[in-house]
Structure 1
Amino acid sequence: MSKSSIAPNRVPTEEGLLSDPHLLADKTLIIFDWDGTLMDSIGLIVESMHVAGDAHGFQTTDKEVQDIIGLSLMKGIEILYPQANDAQKLAIQQSYAEYYIPNSHRTPFFTPIEDMLQSLRHQGKSLAVATGKKRKGLDRVLDASNSHHYFVMTRCADEAGSKPDPQMLTDILNDTQQPIANAVFIGDSIYDIQMATQLGMTSIAVNYGTASSAELAAQQPTYQVDTPQALVDLLCG
């Protein structure tokens, strides 16, 4: 485990100053973001948004799309295309779905992630998902990846407030009857880390998704990792 790939940040948490990776062994509830954290889907999301915007006469940049990943789809569209009227925003949302869904087979788990999920389950950990996807979209990818059985609970943006509202995390804590001290949240966007921070929950930022290392570090996550393998090492090592 290299110091360059796992960087503990000395920030206050419910346990005080958490700087020892071994303290993560006490976490019994591990909550993941989906896109860019478990699944290699950022490229397709960006591509789909370009296709959808172009279809209705709106353009944006890769970075602008990356910056809204983690939010609910409609909230992201509202930020990207403030000049669009309500009908145009709905049309962009529909065009996005029409492109993304038939191409979603191009979004596998990052290489070591499924082995990690299996290992954590074997260790008796409870796993959950808090995602900006809609319920229908998450269920579709859970079915396609045959991964429903890994998670005790999943929460989506159309069931709670859009990130960084922490309602998804609160709902998961309440449903699993776990205290914040037992939980850790893992994500690749600034909204993920902001959501965990609002609750005082331990967080792990992953640098291989949508936000840059510097953008994530500015949010002061408890930990940052550079690669999917480094995340596996941190959680399972």
Structure 2
Amino acid sequence: MGQSNTNQSASLSTESRLADKTLIIFDWDGTLMDSIGLIVESMHVAGEAHGFQTTDQEVKDIIGLSLLTSIDILYPEATATQKLAIETSYTNYYIPNSHRTPFFQTIEAMLQTLQQQGKQLAVATGKKRRGLDRVLEVSNSAQYFKITRCADESGSKPNPQMLTDILEHTQKNIADAVFIGDSIYDIQMASQLGMTSIAVNYGAAASDELAAQQPSYQVESSEELVELLCG
């Protein structure tokens, strides 16, 4: 699969290829929702509460994975009890502050447009089911999505089980779908199935890190994503 240059994202050939996609699957954090800053902040608060420290970049590098998998990677020296305590502290900080995580600009209008075009929309996220349901309710956005799948239901990225679950539920083929994400694990997950992917540079991972995963397309902003998907 060839990666397009971002300044070619509105080309007729690109629009034609993506226009054939009838199933649009999104990652959540850093792709639809502007939540990377709060994730990093929450992980610092949780780790430090139990005597562990990490850097902003180290936290960004694990965004996209399930919470417990992330904690395992960030704090390998922690005991199982400490890791569970860090998970609890993270959740206890993130939840009351989750009002600080709006959709990126233009995203909700994009979801409405895609739905009006007859596309089926879905979410595949590293969040737990309880966490995703909470933000879907707060953002009043559950109505946009035919199906959502979470890491505690299908396995942590880059395991592609979330995507295969979504394909089965919607009765779509891999060729019908495109997956959009902001982490290397998102692109790796899509690549394992040979699914078309779009990497967004405005989330967790740096653009060169994403480019190294050879996504089908790559965009700089949420505005470019809208242009690419909606034409």
Cα deviation code 1:188-236 (max 9, x no counterpart): 0000000000000000000000000000000000000000000000000
Distance 1:69 1:22 in 2: 32
1:94, 1:76 → 2: CA distance?
Answer: 13
Aligned residue number for residue 78 of structure 2: 84
1:74 matched to 2:64? The reply is no
**Deviation of 1:118 (Å):** 0.2
1:191 matches 2:185: yes
CA contact (8 A) 1:6 1:223 kept: no
Q: Which residue of structure 2 aligns with residue 54 of structure 1?
A: 48
Q: Where in structure 2 are the equivalents of 1:24-173 lying within 5 Å?
A: 24-173=18-167
Unaligned runs of 5+ in 2: none
The one-character-per-residue Cα deviations of 1:41-83 (angstroms, maximum 9, x if unpaired) are 0000000000000000000000000000000000000000000
What count of residue pairs does the alignment treat as equivalent? 225
Q: Distance in 2 between matches of 1:44 and 1:5?
A: 28
**Distance in 1 of aligned mates of 2:198 and 2:7:** 10
Which runs of 4 or more aligned residues in structure 1 lie more than 3 Å from their structure 2 counterparts after TM superposition? Answer: 3-8
CA RMSD of aligned residues (A): 1.1
Instruction: Select the residue among 172, 176, 180 that pairs with 1:182.
Output: 176
Rounded Cα–Cα distance in structure 2 between residues aligned with 1:208 and 1:154: 22
Change (3 A) 1:169 1:7: farther
Name the SS for the 2:153 alignment partner. Answer: coil
Q: Specify the alignment match of 1:12 in structure 2.
A: none
Unaligned runs of 5+ in 1: 9-18
2:203 aligned with 1:226: no
Rounded Cα–Cα distance in structure 1 between residues aligned with 2:70 and 2:8:
30
Provide TM-score, normalisation by structure 1. Answer: 0.93
Identity of paired residues, percent?
75
8 Å contact 2:30–2:203 — kept in the other structure? yes
- Asked if the contact 1:70/1:131 (under 8 Å) is kept, the reply is yes
Matches of 1:71 and 1:77 in 2, distance apart?
10
* Equivalent position amino acid for 2:118 in 1: G
Report if the CA contact (8 A) 1:6-1:230 is conserved.
no
Q: Which moved more, 1:124-133 or 1:20-29?
A: 20-29
Return the letter of the residue paired with 1:133. Answer: K
CA contact (8 A) 1:160 1:167 kept: yes
1:20 CA drift (Å): 2.6
Q: What TM-score comes out, normalization by structure 2 length?
A: 0.95
Amino acid in the other structure paired with 1:107: T
Post-superposition CA distance 1:20-53 (Å, at most 9, x none): 3321001000000000000000000000000000
**Which residue pairs with 1:15 in the alignment?**
none
Larger relative helix fraction: 2
The residue number in structure 2 matching 1:14 is none
